[in-house]
Amino acid sequence: MRTVYDADLLLVDDNPDLLRLLSDQLSGAGYRHIRTAANCAAAQTAFACKTPELMILDINLPDGDGFSLFRALRAKADVPALFLSARDADADRLFGLGLGADDYLTKPFLMQELLLRVQHILQRAYRTELSRTRPSALRLGDRQADLNDATVTLSTGKTLSLTATERALLEKLAENRGHIVTYDALCAAVWGADYAGYENSLGVHIRHLREKIEAEPSRPRWLLTARGIGYKLAGEESR
């Protein structure tokens, strides 16, 4: 796994609408390997075909319960898990966490909260693996970007999460640090060769990225505009 977005995710829920929504939101956030199952039997089959890097399990399933499923799958491989449940009793949450789950989220929940929890679980569980492929920390003045964890750490120690698009943009700019990267090259790096229609949104994503890596986004020192051409990530010597 090179980044958290390369993780194989297994979603288990008997609600097809929620399963579709979860898949769409995770895919939109940049996760590329998502498998789904609507019951325990399907989850067992999917797990046997390929061990996932993270399981997101509903508690109430038509042919069993998420707790029992978790125990059965964990006996095969030590895979991180996030429980989803309409049960909001402390006893259920503590029971799930006591089994060894990494987190427990009560329905209904904010989708952004789910995305953040998934990202944090993966960063924590696979920190050693991710560090093996991690390039030198990207220094941006008193801020530090980590492309593997998709985070920016401020001088205060506060950590900001990068979206998949922001991370892809920063990675492309970092690969060519000190040099202009054209609009076309950036679009292709983020959306692939068939990026027609995305050009207009590039500036919006660049603005959001500046808000995270720049102390003064309106007066950028690092992510610079080459008008009519593209953008450049300034080198340390350009400060």
Distance CA 82, CA 67 (A): 11
53 within 8 A of 79, measured Cβ to Cβ = yes
Q: Mean pLDDT by 10-residue block, N- to C-terminus, for the chain (239 residues)?
A: 85 96 87 95 98 96 95 96 88 90 92 86 84 72 91 94 93 86 86 77 95 96 93 73
24 within 8 A of 113, measured Cβ to Cβ = no
Distance CA 139, CA 213 (A): 10
Read off the pTM: 0.63
DSSP string, 11-42: EE-S-HHHHHHHHHHHHHHT--EEEEESSHHH
* pLDDT tens track for 42-59: 999 999 999 999 999 999
Q: Which domains does the chain have, with CATH numbers?
A: 4-129 (3.40.50.2300), 138-238 (1.10.10.10)
